[in-house]
Structure 1
């Protein structure tokens, strides 16, 4: 795959009726078409398993290419685990599934140092988190102590056991599922844990046609059993590198900061978005632009990613919670009131 080019005077054509790139920034386009082509193959493979959820499939790919983590919340039986396993199965990489239960220990996740009688030394036994894609099923059923075992993994992509740090392989992505309705026997994720998830999505019920297709296709055979990888870990690493080189103008960067700052001033909230949220918003906007076949980021990309990236990080005020406002509604309102940058 070709790497990013050096800056030159040629300008790409920007197909946007609301935004133009400033003419002062000149560069050679990054080959985003390769990202789009590979992304389309992965999406096609996933959609053979996850019916009628093209937007969610695309968002999961965005999070993967942004080197982030995905939290899937919804009621039981709508395909949360299926989405996670379909993403993992579409990539020829190491995959581990962790069923989070109340008796799960932190060492089951990260690993443990075991004393070897023959060598008389401690030998590290890697835990389930040592994989490219980790499916954390029903993450809120584990104790807070076990949940916190993922904090270092998700942010620093390493595991520290007995004072020794072990680096995780890249790409590394945690796809966690949880049921937000059932409260008995669950432990809500703390704010620090939720902030480490790049995006949160809700599956929702399928439409009638998709549900009919499921009845026809999935009563006799599990579609996950027929899923074959269409990309490997090395290809994903190349795509992640290409996404990181996509051009972002100063106006778009200022727009990201303005949205994040707006959450901190919103009267409906008692806790706004963190600086990490701004970084994740920009990374996902880059990945969305690359999957769309563009070599630069538009404000439209930022707006499309704002709700899934920001909403789950916000804490509502008491009045907003009593009025049954949601983080998604607050972010949507801020998108309406925050000025969109326009080039000259």
Structure 2
């Protein structure tokens, strides 16, 4: 028997979450069983802990789209008992049982070996949010971003993706501007390496001008909506925006002029179905380039029993940085 956070739905469609003891027979089919050490809390987790957000298909359910731990048993030659592994994405925690439990059983194809140089706890301080940030930075680099090109904008900078993006870009030597709607997070963002704080209101207002002054050499955007449309018109010639989120809405009320007159690139970043080799590349870059002291400054520790409230908080934009859940405490 082991502990798991179980989300249940009643006959009226209301969901509730509680820590329960279950046995291995409750876990789904898979060829690798992992003793989970840590998980984390992402926006998707908040949805799955509550209404399901259209992501959860069957109840009872174990959320948790990320986890890290030690292989207990494996029917796949790539992993043996004792190996440290990380899982992010692949609809785990949504369609499949996830990491909010002391054990998980998954497909070996979904796992990545824990890279040398980081601990299991640090891996979940990174999690999906940090992996997405690294993929975003890599995409900007692959499309020409270099240190010295000018300031790089990060929207939703105090959130999970934004916090890691700020720390990564600053550590790589970029001048970083962080956008936040929470003035109280300004010092936090500066501690991560941001040299400029941009109030959300400055970019949330729509403008009739499709092109504005060329300001940003790159952008990691976790907001979408009106803000992304506005930012596209402020990018330097040939610059790129990595689009990773939709906290400000899924609509994009923009024109094609930034693309056809300034050669701006809009790069879509998905971490859920990211190919294995690029995941490995990103995790190796995280181990080498992300300042772990800055990562630790982002961390909020939590227990399984804290998750129902944290799920509500993250949906309200009230979670700063990264939550690391010790599933065994």
Same fold (TM over 0.5): no
TM-score norm. by structure 1 comes to 0.26
TM-score norm. by structure 2 comes to 0.27
Which structure carries more relative contact order (alpha carbon 8 Å, separation 6+)?
1
Q: Which has the larger radius of gyration?
A: 1
Q: Relative to total residues, which structure has the larger helix share, 1 or 2? A: 1
